[in-house]
């Protein structure tokens, strides 16, 4: 879930369009530069005016011999400044430089009766400025940089200070009303809110509120939004800091920042301290994922000590968020530190609809937009995904110069998120396009002859991402487990493109790679994980500890070679049986495959309703025929957001729309 309320950004903290503090420094700098330039020009011109007319020394000797020199002043024995009297009696100032030591100069001046005197050379203001200007520039530059560092919050020589950002919204606050869904998570956090509002209610009965609450969930589910809503509901200060802000190059800086953060929280109690991406600093110490790191471990040790040392009576509650709880240190998760873990799960159908309504309210939409249909068409999407889809739809509408966002804009945005950008510049030859059409036609037709298959949503031969074509299905409702019939039907649908290519071209292409991989992985997991074979309800292969929520790093082989051979035989039996049923179905309805493929060549994209009209199927109803059995399995994973293909890792949330693709070889 994405925050629907704009947090205190840079403009809000400075009062909308008010000038930022950095602008004052810039104006002062410009004023200072103009002042220096003006002084420089004044000194240059004043120095030139005071010097008089420059004449050669030989000309000076001639004027002296002619008796035209009235008075002179000798400066440091190298320069002569004097007054020259013309024949008509007018006088003018002159200056000349003595190129050599002239011992006869004073004698000639006495003979001509010239008044002369000596004086040291005056110091030119321009010279003084030029000598001291570099030092002034250096001093001003250092002072300016120091001011800049202070203004940005990174005060010099204060590396150990906490970098937590304090938010205290005086106007519209982020509350639980801004968080769609997540009823269980909000119920867990409601106790924290009640404690911050009325701590006596808990202390008088001897109850202790949890010191720390850890929000765990996949990226984009709204963990940070929930933390801000918790502070908004309680109307207390909110300190936000990332786990990576603690760790620095210098050992001990992170620990100092932890101490300062908790001191800052106590001074502003009651408050909430929120640490995002806790795994950046709270990883398991010693050997393990990520290796050792002295600075990070010292920071973690200080955090453990601080969480043990403060009492919730101070009115300070720790909130943290992570999507990797498996790598956190066990000492951090024990009671007395992070006492409670709150799972922030992927939204279900109703929650997705509520999230979409929050974000759609920010853009003008057409009356034809069906929010419920959009929620149904986006299973497995997080709040951040839905917010991005609404934004992409608005961008599509803006490109087309529309005044409102229409349903086709949302459809295009959703297809882009699930299957990638349509590569309209990729021009396929007619033969390649027809092969892709028959391949995708085989996939699409199998959706109507498999009883347990999800309804077809769209089939297209427009290249998207790496796929040359896509046949996409969407579940009618969120599903958290799947039966054997659904799994077998998924394998048959995956084989639909492979069989169609063999039927019409007597060969297959490299575009079947993804389909075969899906079918094989599903069949293997039916045998080794879900007990859906003649071997029995036995799980084979021990998985390593997960390195990321929902992912696995490796699987250990804990069975004999004889069992491995039996597993391979069962997998082959399942795949062969599904392949034969797919061949029988498509050969029996060969004419429908041709109709569907030719329509795809002509129109490129067909919806479920278009296919039903072409083939004369009923306008409603998921399938036409087929049978399946009912053993229940953990749901195979979600669609790959880039290729809309089935993924076989176990799901942690509702089933996403699955699909089959034909990839370019």
CA distance 68 to 91: 10
Q: Both tokens of residue 373?
A: 């249909």
CA distance 22 to 20: 5
SS3 label, residue 45: helix
- Annotated catalytic residue within 440, 570, 581, 663: 440
Backbone dihedral angles phi then psi of residue 66, each to the nearest 5 degrees: -85, 0
Residues 6+ apart with CB under 8 A from 507: 501
Instruction: Please state whether beta strands 69-75 and 271-276 pair in parallel, antiparallel, or not at all (unpaired).
Output: unpaired
Q: How far is CA 385 from CA 347, 350, 464, 471, 610, in A?
A: 11, 16, 19, 22, 28
Dihedral class, residue 16 (left if φ above 0, else alpha if ψ from -120 to 50, else beta) = left
Close Cβ partners of 658 (under 8 Å, ≥ 6 residues apart): 454, 472, 473, 490, 636, 638, 639, 644, 645, 646
Residues in the chain: 665
Which residues are within 8 A (CB) of 517 and not within 5 positions of it... i.e. 6 or more apart?
none
Q: Does 650 participate in catalysis according to the annotation?
A: no
Query: Who's near 147: CB < 8 A, 6+ residues apart?
Result: 25
Neighbours of 128 (CB within 10 A): 11
Q: Pick from 454, 552, 441, 452: which is nearest to 499 by CA? A: 441
Own/partner long-range contacts of 154-161 (Cβ < 8 Å, ≥24 apart):
159/248, 159/250, 159/253, 159/256, 160/252, 160/253, 160/256, 160/257, 160/259, 160/260, 161/256, 161/257, 161/260
With CA atoms as reference, report the closest residue to 277 among 314, 227, 236, 237: 227
Query: Can you list the positions of beta strands (E) in 237-278?
Result: 237-242, 271-276
Which residues are CB-contacts of 7 (< 8 A; sequence separation ≥ 6)? 167, 174, 228
Q: For residue 146, give Cα distances in angstroms to 151, 167, 378, 418.
A: 9, 26, 51, 49
The helix (run of H) or strand (run of E) holding residue 418 is helix 407-419
Residue 399's alpha-carbon distances to 24, 157, 369, 394, 423, in angstroms, are 39, 50, 19, 9, 17
- The radius of gyration computed from the CA coordinates of the chain, to the nearest angstrom, equals 40
What six digits make up the tokens of 250?
């210098």
Report the distance separating Cα 408 and Cα 400, nearest Å: 12
On the CB side of 339, how many CA atoms lie within 13 Å of its CA? 15
Residue 131 is encoded by which pair of tokens?
């000598």
Q: What is the 3-state secondary structure (H, E, C) of 348-409?
A: CHHHHHHHHHHHHCCCCECCCCCHHHHHHCCCCCCHHHHHHHHHHHHHHHHHCCCCCECHHH
Contact residues for 114 (Cβ-Cβ < 8 A; gap 6+): 64, 69, 70, 71, 72
Residue 409 in tokens: 């804009």
Active site residues: 440
């Amino acid at each position: 879930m994405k925050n629907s309320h704009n947090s205190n950004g840079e403009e809000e903290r400075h009062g909308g369009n008010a000038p930022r503090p950095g602008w004052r420094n810039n104006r002062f700098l410009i004023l200072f530069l103009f002042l220096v330039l003006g002084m420089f020009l004044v000194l240059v011109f004043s120095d030139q005016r005071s010097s008089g007319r420059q004449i050669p020394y030989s000309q000076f000797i001639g004027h002296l011999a002619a008796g035209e020199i009235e008075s002179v002043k000798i400066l440091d024995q190298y320069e002569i400044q004097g007054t020259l009297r013309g024949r008509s009696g007018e006088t003018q100032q002159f200056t000349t430089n003595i190129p050599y030591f002239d011992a006869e100069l004073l004698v000639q001046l006495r003979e001509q009766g010239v008044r002369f005197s000596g004086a040291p050379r005056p110091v030119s203001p321009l010279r003084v400025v030029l000598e001291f200007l570099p030092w002034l520039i250096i001093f001003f530059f250092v002072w300016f940089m120091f001011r800049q560092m202070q203004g940005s919050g990174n005060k010099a020589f204060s590396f150990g200070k906490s970098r937590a950002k304090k938010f205290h919204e005086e106007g519209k606050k982020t509350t639980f009303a801004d968080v769609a869904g997540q009823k269980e998570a909000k119920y867990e956090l409601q106790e924290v809110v009640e404690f911050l509002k009325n701590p006596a209610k808990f202390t008088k009965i001897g109850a202790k509120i949890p010191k720390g609450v850890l929000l765990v969930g996949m990226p984009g589910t709204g963990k940070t939004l929930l933390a801000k809503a918790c502070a908004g509901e309680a109307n207390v200060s909110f300190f936000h800091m990332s786990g990576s802000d603690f760790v620095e190059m210098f050992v001990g800086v992170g620990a100092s920042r932890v101490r300062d953060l908790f001191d800052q929280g106590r001074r502003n109690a009651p408050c909430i301290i929120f640490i995002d991406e806790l795994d950046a600093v709270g990883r398991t110490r010693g050997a393990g994922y990520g290796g050792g790191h002295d600075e990070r471990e010292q920071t973690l040790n200080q955090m453990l000590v601080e969480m043990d040392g403060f009492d919730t009576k101070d009115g300070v509650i720790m909130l943290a968020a992570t999507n990797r709880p498996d790598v956190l240190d066990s000492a951090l998760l024990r009671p007395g530190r992070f006492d409670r873990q709150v799972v922030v799960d992927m939204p279900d159908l109703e929650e997705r609809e509520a999230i979409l309504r929050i974000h759609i309210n920010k853009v003008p939409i057409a009356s034809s937009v069906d929010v419920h249909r959009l929620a149904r068409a986006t299973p497995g999407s997080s709040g951040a995904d839905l917010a991005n889809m609404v934004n992409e739809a608005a961008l599509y509408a803006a490109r087309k110069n529309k005044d409102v966002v229409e349903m086709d804009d949302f459809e295009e945005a959703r297809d882009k998120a699930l299957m990638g950008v349509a590569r309209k510049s990729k021009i396929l030859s007619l033969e390649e396009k027809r092969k892709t059409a028959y391949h995708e036609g085989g996939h699409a037709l199998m959706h109507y002859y498999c009883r347990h298959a999800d309804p077809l949503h769209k089939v297209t031969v427009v290249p998207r991402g790496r796929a040359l074509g896509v046949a996409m299905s969407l579940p009618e409702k969120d599903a958290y487990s799947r039966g054997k019939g659904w799994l077998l039907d998924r394998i048959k649908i995956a084989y639909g493109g492979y069989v169609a290519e063999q039927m019409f071209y007597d060969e297959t292409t490299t575009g079947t790679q993804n389909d075969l991989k899906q079918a094989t992985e599903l069949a293997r997991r039916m045998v080794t994980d879900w007990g859906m074979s003649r071997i029995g309800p036995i799980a084979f292969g021990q998985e390593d500890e997960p390195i990321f929520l929902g992912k696995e790093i490796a699987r250990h082989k804990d069975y004999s070679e004889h069992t491995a051979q039996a597993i391979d035989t069962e997998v082959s039996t399942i795949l062969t049986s599904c392949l034969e049923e797919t061949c029988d179905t498509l050969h029996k309805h060969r004419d429908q495959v041709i109709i569907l493929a030719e329509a795809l060549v002509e129109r490129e994209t067909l919806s479920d309703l278009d296919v039903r009209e072409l083939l004369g199927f009923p306008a409603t109803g998921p399938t036409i025929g087929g049978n399946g059995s009912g053993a229940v399995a953990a749901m195979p994973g979600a669609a790959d957001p880039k290729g809309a293909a089935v993924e076989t890792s176990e799901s942690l949330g509702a089933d996403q729309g699955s699909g089959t693709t034909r990839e370019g070889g």
